[in-house]
Structure 1
């Protein structure tokens, strides 16, 4: 079946397949944030120190992000259904292993395997949307995909707090097992066997992309842990980051020079919307990951909320984003994506600035919830238009590769956001509370006399993601009108060229 089906969507209703896939997609995104609330319980039960337990999350994110370029390509070669199913089996078994571990070293190893399973699953969800939905219906499909992505990143801490408080930290992993089994059965029954495309794997490209992404992501992700200094001997955080950039530059050079079949077809980036959407989603990934840290520290350190209570502050964002997603999806199919995404990318920084202004020691909770509702509304207008714009014009043979690139840039944005917000918070705390130590004990037992300065430091930290989003807004305002919209008459003639 090699090469069959280029540009042709399979018959039948594609929605059941998408619903089956988003079950696993939701699971893997929740697991990127769910561990944060369980960190103290894991430390106490496994006798782990802070440096070790941080790797429970870091190992998962690294194993998840680094292989995405390759796993997206695997879906093109062997079929997205098959690669997704294998990834879901790996992820589910690794989740069971995580819950049964007896020490933190085993838990970290299990999380690496879990991350590899997640990296196999993630690109296939977007690839199936691209290959089964016609271009004029992908907005609604991407709205569901985007709503799941947006809500999952917010639900993780909430669900983690409830499970840890009620059943124990092991259940943040055990809960994946029945969900994974159900998701696998539904995927095998409902996801169609799509045509595969013969690809010769670019082994040098795989090596260069893997090493380059690992060095870059590891350096950024762990920079704060090592205080942006030496790691082992002459090897420093910055040397890893620079080495990663150099290796990735070598990867791009090889992709240009490779006369066979490169791992990543740089021709994808000739599509203006694909390039702009990848840049825009990097800023969104940066913001969604970074914005919750100052809010959670303020809620627990200044307001005295428990981790679960603090996480529940994010509930309005998740609810409003999920409710608006179908509406935004229909708009995305009918209207120019620069306007739909532009609304979200403009409202998002406004919401962050409003939230920053509300972070005061005695502010009523409702004053915090109002800007969070606006942020949730903005989130609903961001995910679907950007994702659908990135994938609408992709050739069917490269749907998986394109999805791999898109998810890689989003994940790199998330890693950048995590590292940057940590540095920003540390800088503002050093300026406003120079005598304060930066450990968890100091935050959770903050003296009332320090509440105002601490709240100000967290509020000022939110200015960073707000500023980054302005760059993303500039990107989405440059979107070209999608091809399927150009074919529709506008006034007396069809629209030609770029809008």
Structure 2
């Protein structure tokens, strides 16, 4: 039961990360929110999600996966309920921030629980499903958000989390084994520096403030120096000594720099250029979702035959082709030719990338550091999106140029994977 429990939990937090894209207009109208306040509905979640990831991942190593996972589920469920009944902007934003903390606990702990429960080929299959969920959850979130907003209310998109969370808590208590607590101390100063540094960095990007970016980078430098000096770090720097892991962290960052802007801009184009409703914009991601799922289900066999890094390389090349096609498409040709066809190629590339890059991010990580490695993998995933989106928004307001930036990020990721392979890295993960 570990696999369905962790996959459903991971799906819920990914869905709530993207559901805002298709329901934000209705939220703003319902709560009479200004454009600035409305942006914080998304930003508050992103800030706390990204800011607490390193701490959450390490706590799962020290205090036990099951215990921390249950805490995360509880926070996520309660905050989802309160978001669903929010009556003003302040309550909405505050509860989204709390929901982000719950998500920051769930994301690394789900992956660590899978690493504890499975080994060898079974672990590879489990991580393939996990990687597939990373792509499917984001795109299905657009669909569910559009459907619930159109048919019921934007509130339903958050209230639907509550019964699922209750079921997950029950199943976790019954089916997931407890792991022992560690006697290691907790680095509270390092935890604070990581939260301030990561949260401040994401905030500075969303606000496009050069001064705040500089301050947050200094805080992150202080955090790294602290982690080098202390014997019980929140982020064990030894995780970067493995070439496969360190390369995977950069590739994950660049992947999200490309894909979060894609998920953000394409629904807007569908609604502005093709006059789609929120529901139709969500349905417009079906080509990506379906092909992502089909490819991801075949990945264990492909990885066993060709190796993890080589499949990652193929995925990066296919994603590059799909994004380049989108950048060169003429929107006057309509949705099917300009968006859906290249989106299908992007779905194949995404399906080939997420599981291998997730596997590489936790490759050969010691069991006692599985939570930290998972936290770092998810941290790169979470901060990559705001970095890419901020760069693109600050540089252009032209859709074709926006996709050109996404294509560049993908090209850089592909080059890094090629260097990993040529550098003599293993091509098949155990």
Relative to the length of structure 1, the TM-score reads 0.82
Check whether the contact 1:123–1:407 (CA below 8 A) recurs between aligned residues: yes
Structure ID, larger Rg: 1
Please state if 1:207 is matched with 2:152.
no
Q: Which position in structure 2 is the counterpart of 1:255?
A: 227
Match of 2:176 among 185, 188, 191: 191
Q: Which position in structure 1 is the counterpart of 2:262?
A: 291
Q: Which position in structure 1 is the counterpart of 2:413?
A: 472
Structure 1, unaligned runs of 5 or more: 1-15, 224-236, 427-456, 486-499
Q: Provide the rounded CA distance (Å) in 1 between the counterparts of 2:276 and 2:396.
A: 20
Query: Secondary structure at 2:184's aligned position in 1?
Result: coil
Q: Which position in structure 1 is the counterpart of 2:250?
A: 279
Q: Provide the rounded CA distance (Å) in 1 between the counterparts of 2:327 and 2:24.
A: 26
Q: Provide the rounded CA distance (Å) in 2 between the counterparts of 1:132 and 1:139.
A: 12
Q: Which position in structure 1 is the counterpart of 2:61?
A: 76
Give the CA deviation at 1:366. Answer: 4.3
Residues 222-253 of structure 1 deviation map (CA, whole Å, 9 limit, x = unaligned): 22xxxxxxxxxxxxx11111011111111111
Using the TM superposition, name which of 175-184 and 361-370 deviates more.
Answer: 361-370
Q: Provide the rounded CA distance (Å) in 1 between the counterparts of 2:32 and 2:343.
A: 36
Give the CA deviation at 1:84. Answer: 0.9
Q: Which position in structure 2 is the counterpart of 1:391?
A: 362
Query: Secondary structure at 2:192's aligned position in 1?
Result: helix
Taking structure 1 as reference, are residues 203 and 338 closer, same or farther at Cα in structure 2, changes over 3 Å only? same
Coordinate RMSD, CA, aligned? 1.6
Give the CA deviation at 1:413. Answer: 0.3
Residues 13-54 of structure 1 deviation map (CA, whole Å, 9 limit, x = unaligned): xxx201111111100111111012222211221111111111
Query: Secondary structure at 1:199's aligned position in 2?
Result: coil
Give the CA deviation at 1:196. Answer: 3.6
Q: Which position in structure 2 is the counterpart of 1:238?
A: 210
Give the CA deviation at 1:367. Answer: 4.7
Residues 306-333 of structure 1 deviation map (CA, whole Å, 9 limit, x = unaligned): 2221222211111111122121123224
Give the CA deviation at 1:268. Answer: 1.1
Q: Which position in structure 2 is the counterpart of 1:318?
A: 289
Q: Provide the rounded CA distance (Å) in 1 between the counterparts of 2:383 and 2:31.
A: 30
Give the CA deviation at 1:114. Answer: 0.9
Residues 448-478 of structure 1 deviation map (CA, whole Å, 9 limit, x = unaligned): xxxxxxxxx3122101011111111122221
Q: Provide the rounded CA distance (Å) in 1 between the counterparts of 2:335 and 2:152.
A: 31
Query: Secondary structure at 2:332's aligned position in 1?
Result: coil
Residues 103-138 of structure 1 deviation map (CA, whole Å, 9 limit, x = unaligned): 011111111111111111110111122222214432
Residues 188-233 of structure 1 deviation map (CA, whole Å, 9 limit, x = unaligned): 222222344332111221121111112111101222xxxxxxxxxx
Q: Which position in structure 2 is the counterpart of 1:228?
A: none
Please state if 1:361 is matched with 2:332.
yes
Q: Map 1:212-227 onto structure 2 (within 5 A).
A: 212-223=197-208
Structure 2, unaligned runs of 5 or more: none
Q: How many pairs align? A: 426
Give the CA deviation at 1:87. Answer: 0.6
Query: Secondary structure at 2:275's aligned position in 1?
Result: coil
Q: Provide the rounded CA distance (Å) in 2 between the counterparts of 1:188 and 1:319.
A: 33
Please state if 1:163 is matched with 2:104.
no
Give the CA deviation at 1:186. Answer: 2.0
